[in-house]
Amino acid sequence: MKTKSIVLIVLTVLCSIPLFGSENTTVALITKTVQTVTKKTPPEDWAKALRGDALLSGNQLQTGKRSLAIVKFADNSIIRVRELSLLTVSGQSNGTGTLSKSVRLDGGAFGFDVRKQKQNEQFHLTSPTSVASIRGTQGKLSGGQGSDTLIVTEGLVNFKNNASGNEVDVPAGFIGFSNQDGTVTSRKASEQELADANNAATGGSTSHELNLELKDSQGNKKGLKIRYK
Amino acid sequence: MNLFPRRAFLCILLVVLFSLSAAAQISDKVVRVETAPYQAGAPLGIRVELLNASLIDRIDVAYRSFGETDYKHLEMQMQGNSAQTVIPAKDLTPPFLEYYLALYLHNGATETYPVENPTEHPLKIDLQSSISAQDDAIIILSPEPNETFRSREDALISFSLIHADSSIDKSTVKIYIDGADVTSKAIFTGDIVTIPPPEYLEGGKHSIRIQVSDRDGSSAHVTAMDFGLKTTEGPAGSSSLAPKWTYRSHLQAETRNENIANSVTPYNRLSLSASGEYDWLRLDGSLFVTNEENDRRQPQNRFLVSGESRWLRLGYGDHYPVFQDLIMTGKRVRGFFANLTLGFFNLDVSKGDITRRIESDTLRTFLFDSLASEQASDSTGAFGPYDQTRWAKFNRGTFSRDLLVVRPSFGSREGAHFGLTYLKSKDDITSIIYGGKPKENLVLGSDFLIPLFNHGIEITGQSAFSATNNDITGGTFTDTRIDSIYSDYSESARNTIRKVRDVFQNFITINENLIPLNLKNAPTLAYEAGLAVNYFNNYFKFTYLRHGNNFESFGQSFVRTDVVGFNIADRLRLLNNQVLLTGGFERLQDNTAETKPATTTGTTTNVSISWYPKKELPSVTVGYLFASNANDHPDTLWRIEDRLDRILVQLGKDFTFGGHHTAVLSVSTSTRDDQSFRNLDGKNTMVSLSNSTSFEIPLQTLVSLTVSSNTFATSGASSISTDYTTLYAMANYRFLGNKLIVGASVSPTFGDIERTLFDARSEYYFVPNLSLAGQLSVYLNKQTTNDVIWSFILRADL
């Protein structure tokens, strides 16, 4: 009887796993694209990403040169993906009303403005080298190809190296480094670093500018300035 | 006194049995006050329907957040038999807003609504909907607050239901854009919902409203947001979608007849508004003309034309500019305005008249020999030479008063900024023949906002220095006049006065009527500084303020002067926003100039708790306020010692029973105990019960019962009591596929005031944008003659 019960419980748990699986969970929405932004929904190939596109768990997003994408998660957390970046978004529903989110950075950088997470919710920023656990904060993560740099402008982030398991808490105003050799360090960030991270996280009060040169059929050149936050 | 006479008790019982009721006040000038549904973070509109509008010169709404002592005043925009204004979102703090109306009549008298003791027993607007509006069952992802999309294609409207827990039925989602149900167009991708903007969406302001119900249907979660759309066309640069003009206009013509106390007053009014947009340019115009306009009153007609681009707005006509709180807020100016918004630098300018000239009336003329006896018979009368041989007694006229206010500011209007404000206002001495004392006013001020950590912390400050000349008839004084007035002063002191005059006469008339004449205790300086901290569901604010006893701005008539002190307010949300705790303490003292025989200290302490259960049970708000004023002067003539206790209990419940009902029961009582020799005690109690219902059929009803008991002292020994009970029942029904709307109401009042109101109205839409409305109101008054009012209104939208 006891063995039967255990088998039943195990079967129930196993059957329940797909119900809470991460695939096909809608995680986020692309709210802005500038220049070249593509997304990939495996097994499909890369396709142009458009404003208003939903991102499912496992979707990848890539930005080209002088490009930008703003992604809003279902809980209103925001990441601003800088140029030449590649990342993967994931989400796992822990039951009705909560969603744990993860962004894996494989290259480039993004600013983040993460809303306060509910109980049983998590927001992780990962790379092949590191994992940063966030509960509600702002900053910028860059790297994804060896060493990672994390700047925190608001709140506190636990920054852990995957290889060594070493970790450090990075508070607001500090910059953390997670390296291939397993070391994790932090120091006070410079004003320039903080301004850059704040700009990446919030869009900044000052706008960025893209200068494009356009040619018409007669070869006449015209400049086009695109300002974005 | 028995607060619940048998008849009233029976009425309450009946109302409870039949789920009826809402608050009502008795006034012969205000028919009703309507407030728009409150949405957290959005301003709140208030509209007043008037009787005897021809008697009213101006209406202010005086309001304060719960626990604040001072009322802020906003002048309402009067148009015909209604007046309206919008209370800024920053002044709306749950659990409720207290307010009353101040009506300034043409004969110089002032009335209030409610009539009795409005400052201590004001009306209330429940702000509890903020709780449901702020819960996170619905998260709007796009637009951002107040975002303006460049085009319809650019418009992304999306929200998330990720935090809607298992108690919420996601299939009940309803989405409205500008009131139209667009739920069927929504695209659901998991918990993220996207709504393609409807094709009919035109350039201008729009709103989205989303609601979802609990599984048991007991309560709804509602979120709303405004957004703008610059054009209906595609993205800039799209050659096939070139900009084009879009227009909108509204016309309303009204004829109205009021027979009140056997006095018949006809009204004929026409209002026209129009707007047009072309790419980045927007033009607006409005005109209101009425037969009430005449040169013996301040302007009743209104007009305004304005043009607006992304960075500049210009206009001419009647406008209500808002500058620094201490200097200029909501006063009507007829003239020119400009708002330049460059981001890092902004400039606001308003110039025009705030008072129109009204010529004096000559009451009678007499020979100069009789002047002494005439003045003796009326020491406060106005007398002046009429011609070479005669003098006249007259009613003083009103000088034309102009005003210029300029505010350059640096930084974001909504974010971190620093601003400087200059205000100059002066009576035109030549505008009338006989007037009182013409005045002049100069105010200089500054203000700043420093937001930190994404507005988690906000530091604010403002200061203003005023100079007012209370009689500029004689102009700036001459050297001879200085020598005469200040003959007791030394020669060097008089020279200093001359030097000061030479410098400052370029800004304001300098003479002995100027305030301040010295800077001891800074009598015309006002400043405020505040720190707000908003973290962990807790909002805390500390404010320190000092307003000098002679501070005055012609652009802001309601700054409380001669006061210094601080106030602290704290608001805490608990249990997933189901419980709201509010507390506050304020301590203010007068005698800032140290010229009064005693310093009076006023303290106000308040606490309130609100519970908004998500299921079944009604919401509950309980509030208590204690206020006292005291000084320790030994002379009873100067002694002040009084205290006020106020208790409020309010229950609210939404339920479904043959229709959707919203029932509210409110009980409030205040007692004033004056321990001074004046013994101005008072007591007010009001119990109201209301129920509004929307049925499946196009029927809406509202039933309310109000029991009001007021006692206030008129002198040391006597007091006046006014007790009355008002029943109100109203129903609206739509016929012919919403083409015909018919409504009626009846409202009997019993007790010390006895009257019954019968009201019937209908509106017929010939086509969707053309309608004709008619209304008939009959007041059966027991003590006086009956009143009858009828009106017809033609409305057209183009």
Which distant-in-sequence residues (6+ apart) come within 8 Å of B58 by Cβ? B75, B78, B103, B104, B298
**Could you tell me what percentage of chain A is helix, strand and coil, using 3-state DSSP and rounding each to the nearest 5?**
15, 50, 35
> What is the total residue count of chain A?
229
d(CA B731, CA A66): 62
d(CA A133, CA A155): 11
Residue B210 scores a pLDDT above 90: no
Q: How many helices (H) and strands (E) are present in chain A, helices listed first?
A: 2, 19
Of the listed ranges B98-107, B179-188, B568-577, B759-768, the least confidently predicted one is B179-188
Identify residue B652 by its one-letter amino acid code.
Answer: G
Nearest CB to B190 within list A25, A51, A205: A25
CA nearest to A54 within chain B: B189
Token duo for residue A90: 């994931």
Of the listed ranges B203-212, B451-460, B700-709, the least confidently predicted one is B203-212
Query: Are A54 and B194 a contacting pair at CB < 8 A?
Result: yes
Interface test with B, best of A76, A98, A138 (most B CBs within 10 A): A76
Of the candidates B702, B616, B697, B708, the one whose C-alpha atom is nearest the C-alpha of residue B664 is B702
Query: Are B158 and A52 a contacting pair at CB < 8 A?
Result: yes
Q: Report which secondary-structure segment, H or E, holds B497.
A: helix B491-504
| Predicted pLDDT of residue B243 | 61
Residue B543 scores a pLDDT above 90: yes
Q: For residue B348, which phi and psi values (nearest 5 degrees)?
A: -120, 130
Alpha-carbon torsion (B613, B618, B624, B625), positive or negative: positive
Which strands, in side-by-side order, build the sheet including B361-367? B361-367, B390-395, B382-385
Q: Give B453 or B289, the one with higher predicted confidence.
A: B289
Q: Report which secondary-structure segment, H or E, holds B729.
A: strand B719-735
d(CA B441, CA B358): 20
With left for phi above 0 and alpha for psi between -120 and 50, is residue A144 left, alpha or beta? left
Q: How far is CA B267 from CA B139, B292, B790, B793, B794, in A?
A: 48, 7, 10, 12, 14
Cβ(B228)–Cβ(B204) under 8 Å? yes
Cβ(B676)–Cβ(B641) under 8 Å? yes
d(CA B434, CA B513): 20
The residues that bridge with B267 in the sheet, in sequence order, are B256
The segment with the largest mean pLDDT, out of B62-71, B343-352, B528-537, is: B343-352
Query: Are A52 and B453 a contacting pair at CB < 8 A?
Result: no
Token duo for residue B793: 């209104």
What does the DSSP assignment read for B535-603?
ETTEEEEEEEEEE-TT--BTTBTTPPPSEEEEEEEEEEEETTTTEEEEEEEEEEE--TTS-SSS--EEE
| Predicted pLDDT of residue B571 | 84
Cβ(A147)–Cβ(A178) under 8 Å? yes
Token duo for residue B456: 């988690």
pLDDT digits (tens, 9 = 90+) for B673-716: 988 888 888 898 999 999 988 787 878 888 999 999 988 877 65
Token duo for residue A83: 């140029």
The predicted model gives B286-300 an average pLDDT of 89
CA torsion, points B33, B39, B43, B47, in degrees to nearest 10? Answer: -10
Of the candidates B644, B636, B654, B734, the one whose C-alpha atom is nearest the C-alpha of residue B681 is B644
Nearest CB to A52 within list B156, B191, B453: B156
Angle formed at CA A23 by CA A22 and CA A28, multiple of 5 degrees: 80
Which distant-in-sequence residues (6+ apart) come within 8 Å of B518 by Cβ? none
Percent of chain B with pLDDT over 70: 89
Angle formed at CA B416 by CA B415 and CA B418, multiple of 5 degrees: 125
Which distant-in-sequence residues (6+ apart) come within 8 Å of A65 by Cβ? A35, A36, A83, A84
Residue A2 scores a pLDDT above 70: no
Nearest CB to A54 within list B164, B192, B454: B192
Q: Give B18 or A153, the one with higher predicted confidence.
A: A153
d(CA B631, CA B600): 5
Task: Please state the ipTM of this predicted complex.
Answer: 0.78
| Predicted pLDDT of residue B19 | 31
Q: For residue B134, which phi and psi values (nearest 5 degrees)?
A: -95, -5
Interface test with A, best of B139, B185, B191 (most A CBs within 10 A): B191
Cβ(B546)–Cβ(B529) under 8 Å? no
Q: Among all chains, which residue has been given the structure tokens 């025989």?
A: B597
The separation between CA B133 and the C-alpha centre of its own chain, rounded to angstroms, equals 23
Average pLDDT value over all residues in chain B: 83
pLDDT digits (tens, 9 = 90+) for B416-445: 899 999 999 999 999 988 888 999 999 999
Nearest CB to B454 within list A51, A98, A154: A154
The predicted model gives B478-486 an average pLDDT of 89
Residue B765 scores a pLDDT above 90: no
Alpha-carbon torsion (B260, B265, B268, B271), positive or negative: negative
Q: Among all chains, which residue has been given the structure tokens 């704290």?
A: B570
CA nearest to A29 within chain B: B192
Of the candidates B96, B44, B42, the one whose C-alpha atom is nearest the C-alpha of residue B74 is B44
Cβ(B266)–Cβ(B291) under 8 Å? yes
Q: Report which secondary-structure segment, H or E, holds B220.
A: strand B220-229
Would you call B191 an interface residue with chain A, using a CB distance cutoff of 8 Å?
A: yes
CA torsion, points A169, A174, A175, A176, in degrees to nearest 10? Answer: -10
Query: Which contacts qualify for B769-775: CB closer than 8 Å, 24 or more apart?
Result: B769/B796, B769/B797, B769/B798, B770/B795, B770/B796, B770/B797, B771/B795, B771/B796
Give A-chain residues touching B412 at CB under 8 angstroms: 205
pLDDT digits (tens, 9 = 90+) for B603-632: 999 898 988 776 678 888 899 999 999 998
The predicted model gives B530-557 an average pLDDT of 90
Cβ(B58)–Cβ(B98) under 8 Å? no
Query: Are B158 and A25 a contacting pair at CB < 8 A?
Result: no
CA torsion, points B375, B377, B379, B384, in degrees to nearest 10? Answer: -30
Cβ(B738)–Cβ(B699) under 8 Å? no
Query: Are B454 and A31 a contacting pair at CB < 8 A?
Result: no
Strand A123-126 and strand A99-114: pairing?
A: parallel
Nearest CB to B453 within list A76, A97, A154: A154
Cβ(B531)–Cβ(B511) under 8 Å? no
Which strands, in side-by-side order, build the sheet including B192-195? B139-142, B157-160, B192-195, B187-189
Alpha-carbon torsion (B773, B691, B134, B329), positive or negative: positive
Give B-chain residues touching A154 at CB under 8 angstroms: 453-454
pLDDT digits (tens, 9 = 90+) for B2-11: 333 444 333 3
Residue A22 scores a pLDDT above 50: no
Residue A81 scores a pLDDT above 80: yes
Identify residue B724 by its one-letter amino acid code.
Answer: Y
| Predicted pLDDT of residue B792 | 93
Would you call B160 an interface residue with chain A, using a CB distance cutoff of 8 Å?
A: yes
Nearest CB to B141 within list A24, A31, A97: A31
DSSP B38: P
The predicted model gives B191-199 an average pLDDT of 84
Residue-wise burial string across B510-536, b where 16 or more C-beta atoms lie within 10 A, e elsewhere: bbebbbbeeeeebbbbbbbbbebbbee
Establish how many alpha carbons lie within 13 A of residue A152's alpha carbon, considering only the half-sphere containing its beta carbon. Answer: 27
The predicted model gives A67-74 an average pLDDT of 93
| Predicted pLDDT of residue A20 | 36
The predicted model gives B70-98 an average pLDDT of 79
pLDDT digits (tens, 9 = 90+) for A202-213: 876 434 445 566
Give A-chain residues touching B139 at CB under 8 angstroms: 74-76
Token duo for residue B394: 């007259």
